[in-house]
Structure 1
Amino acid sequence: MEYTMDVFFRQTWTDERLKFSGPTEILRLNNLMVSKIWTPDTFFRNGKKSIAHNMTTPNKLFRIMQNGTILYTMRLTINADCPMRLVNFPMDGHACPLKFGSYAYPKSEIIYTWKKGPLHSVEVPQESSSLLQYDLIGQTVSSETIKSNTGEYVIMTVYFHLQRKMGYFMIQIYTPCIMTVILSQVSFWINKESVPARTVFGITTVLTMTTLSISARHSLPKVSYATAMDWFIAVCFAFVFSALIEFAAVNYFTNLQTQRAMRKAARAAALAAALSAATVPAEDEIVSHSDSNSNLKKRVNSIASQAEQSPEPSIISNTASQCQPLSVPPPAPPQPPAIGGASKIDQYSRILFPVAFAGFNLVYWVVYLSKDTMEFFEPLAMHFRNDPQPN
């Protein structure tokens, strides 16, 4: 990552060859005189591009004191490299370094020190402490010595501690993800037989989470590891996808239950039809046996002949009616059970899904908001203790 800053870079050194005496304590010279004297060859080691402002004239200040002390100030815009590890993004903090030192003069010829000490040598105006995406919470300085083929060189480093602002990501990423997960869980309260409505809920929320994931990645460099926001989006996507899978399971078991009920009703109807068919041959058999009984025929005939002369036809009629077979109506086939109502899977999901998602949010926000995500470098603490005292 890179960052750009506008600085007033001040350097002070003593050149005994420039001592003078007179009524003027400070010589205020034109910046053209800078090229006439010796100046440090300071350069920014991690700078990508630096610009010296020249509008309307070169923005430089050049002063010489009577004891030969020189003050040289210039206005620069520096584009520097800032290594960032985005594991805790967007709750991350970074220490962006600005390293400078002599390009050609080794430690034996030139040594850099902080004039006002490590606490007051770098000053940042209050209006410059708040950026669009970061808050500047402070700055620290250090010095170190590095070795190369041409000698040992003193490197001065300023660390700008930046804390990322979460407002943008809460509005654009986190809140839509949470609302999408809640919307996906509304389908648990819809009738399980409303297949189109629940299908639309599931597919729409999955596509929404996919769009949010792609949008979130556009605000990040292409890193090979997962960030804190990636984990949050992945878990939200898992909840949304699980809600769609839950509906598929409910629909499957509902269809399975319906098929079982239909098969049970079909077997009951077949059994009722078989019982009804078995009753008719029994009646025919009774009639045929009565017809084949010759003695009964004769008795019936004799009774019939006597009936013509008898004054009590009702008794004969009742006796004859008792010989008729009784017809039993077949039992009605049982109706299949009703399949409507809430599924047990939906009833459990209405409780488990919200509780699990609330628990995940509780753990996620407690861990990351209470965690110190500011990056610190080991050389910072070491060289801060060994920082040379100002002259």
Structure 2
Amino acid sequence: MSIFLRQRWRDKRLKYDRIEGVPALQLNTKSINGVWVPDLFILNEKRATIHNVVVPNKLLHIQPDGSILYSIRISGTFSCDVNLLKYPLDNQICPLIIESYGYTSETLVLQWYREAVEKKEDIILSQFSLDCIDTFKCDKQYAGMNFSCVQMNIKLDRLYDYYLLQIYVPSILIVILSWVSFWISVDATPARISLGLLTVLAMTTQSSGLPKVSYFKAIDVWMVSCLCFVFAALIEFAYVNVLSRVEQRRLSHVVDATNNKTEYLRRSLPEKMGNQTSSRINLFFRNMASREKARNVDKISRVIFPMLFLLFNVIYWTVYIFD
């Protein structure tokens, strides 16, 4: 952040008679060093500098009654503990904590002015939108001594349009693509295996580049769930393929046994009885073919997989957006 830190206080030692045409004394940077100023520091500062181009960016005005306005321009990096459980659908609250370093509350008391924070109206952030700013006191105690403290909390809402376009929508399309195999013939083994592996690999590469933390984020739940859906579609084909091959082996054994039995019956029984037996056997095989398990599993998957994925979406977006 880049901020103008403005401070107001009254020092009775600096009272003077009002000068006509001069509302306040405006000190230059050299004279400022001879005036007492509060020893403030920013508790969560990591790196910060006071601007010195082209002169030190400091201002100090003294009113006749000893009231002082002191302003400095600071740019720095300040720490902010974030919670990424809902990332990238999260919002963060980042503080700016200002304390007195050496003066206890008995000597120096800090409090926010009437308009505590003024923000630039046209601020544009690449990843967040600036929601609101809250200010309050946060007096602290160190080594049994009380120190005055003021705090500013900045609420930042993450902009997730990028994640919708680059992660959520592509992963949804990949999951839908994995369902195409349910309409491909069971005998087209190379096509269905290639499609299943392609979608699984696509999902694994989607998760690269995300923040790495020791707990599950919202985006992790999404990616893992989508990976499970495409992996389940691949496992479904393996199950269908096994059913198909087992059914084929059973049918081949039954056909061989039935042909032998039919030939025997034709030789040992009258011709009429043999024809009736053959008709019954042919009807039996037609009924078996119409109830083929492998095709039924594909038909059920065409309905079950989209319904489960739709249910997952309803739960996911309800929990992470409206909770």
TM-score, structure 2 normalization: 0.90
Task: State the alpha-carbon separation in 2 of the partners of residues 352 and 134 from structure 1.
Answer: 38
Shift of residue 339, structure 1, vs aligned partner: 5.8
Q: Note if contact 1:257-1:339 (Cα within 8 Å) is conserved in structure 2.
A: no
- Label 1:33 to 1:219 Cα distance change in 2 as closer, same or farther (>3 A): farther
Q: In structure 2, what is the equivalent of residue 17 of structure 1?
A: 13
Task: State the alpha-carbon separation in 2 of the partners of residues 150 and 274 from structure 1.
Answer: 106
Q: Note if contact 1:258-1:339 (Cα within 8 Å) is conserved in structure 2.
A: no
Shift of residue 278, structure 1, vs aligned partner: 6.2
348, 351, 355: which is aligned to 2:303? Answer: 351
Task: State the alpha-carbon separation in 2 of the partners of residues 32 and 72 from structure 1.
Answer: 14
User: Are positions 1:36 and 2:30 aligned together?
Assistant: no
Q: In structure 1, what is the equivalent of residue 78 of structure 2?
A: 80
User: Are positions 1:183 and 2:183 aligned together?
Assistant: no
Q: Note if contact 1:185-1:243 (Cα within 8 Å) is conserved in structure 2.
A: yes
Task: State the alpha-carbon separation in 2 of the partners of residues 169 and 62 from structure 1.
Answer: 47
Which stretch shows the higher mean deviation, 14-23 or 102-111? 14-23
95, 98, 101: which is aligned to 1:97? Answer: 95
RMSD: 2.3
Which stretch shows the higher mean deviation, 181-190 or 23-32? 23-32
Task: State the alpha-carbon separation in 2 of the partners of residues 17 and 245 from structure 1.
Answer: 84
Runs of 4+, deviation exceeding 3 Å: 272-279, 330-342
- Label 1:156 to 1:275 Cα distance change in 2 as closer, same or farther (>3 A): same
Q: Note if contact 2:59-2:71 (Cα within 8 Å) is conserved in structure 1.
A: yes
Equivalence map 1:62-73=2 (5 Å): 62-73=60-71
Shift of residue 275, structure 1, vs aligned partner: 5.0
Q: Note if contact 1:91-1:164 (Cα within 8 Å) is conserved in structure 2.
A: yes
- Label 1:124 to 1:101 Cα distance change in 2 as closer, same or farther (>3 A): same
Gaps of at least 5 residues in structure 1 are: 280-325, 372-391
Task: State the alpha-carbon separation in 2 of the partners of residues 49 and 67 from structure 1.
Answer: 37
Which stretch shows the higher mean deviation, 338-347 or 138-147? 338-347
- Which has the higher Rg, Structure 1 or Structure 2? 1
Q: In structure 2, what is the equivalent of residue 361 of structure 1?
A: 313
Gaps of at least 5 residues in structure 2 are: none
Q: Note if contact 1:254-1:339 (Cα within 8 Å) is conserved in structure 2.
A: no
The size of the alignment, in residue pairs, is: 312
Shift of residue 271, structure 1, vs aligned partner: 2.5
User: Are positions 1:8 and 2:4 aligned together?
Assistant: yes
Task: State the alpha-carbon separation in 2 of the partners of residues 194 and 72 from structure 1.
Answer: 79
- Label 1:57 to 1:150 Cα distance change in 2 as closer, same or farther (>3 A): farther
Task: State the alpha-carbon separation in 1 of the partners of residues 117 and 156 from structure 2.
Answer: 15
Shift of residue 248, structure 1, vs aligned partner: 0.7
Task: State the alpha-carbon separation in 2 of the partners of residues 38 and 10 from structure 1.
Answer: 15
Q: In structure 2, what is the equivalent of residue 265 of structure 1?
A: 255
Task: State the alpha-carbon separation in 2 of the partners of residues 109 and 7 from structure 1.
Answer: 26
Shift of residue 176, structure 1, vs aligned partner: 1.1
User: Are positions 1:236 and 2:226 aligned together?
Assistant: yes
Task: State the alpha-carbon separation in 2 of the partners of residues 20 and 339 from structure 1.
Answer: 108
Task: State the alpha-carbon separation in 1 of the partners of residues 289 and 197 from structure 2.
Answer: 25
Shift of residue 62, structure 1, vs aligned partner: 1.6
Shift of residue 249, structure 1, vs aligned partner: 0.8
Task: State the alpha-carbon separation in 1 of the partners of residues 13 and 77 from structure 2.
Answer: 36
Q: In structure 2, what is the equivalent of residue 48 of structure 1?
A: 46
Residues 120-154 of structure 1 deviation map (CA, whole Å, 9 limit, x = unaligned): 210111111x3111011110001122111261101
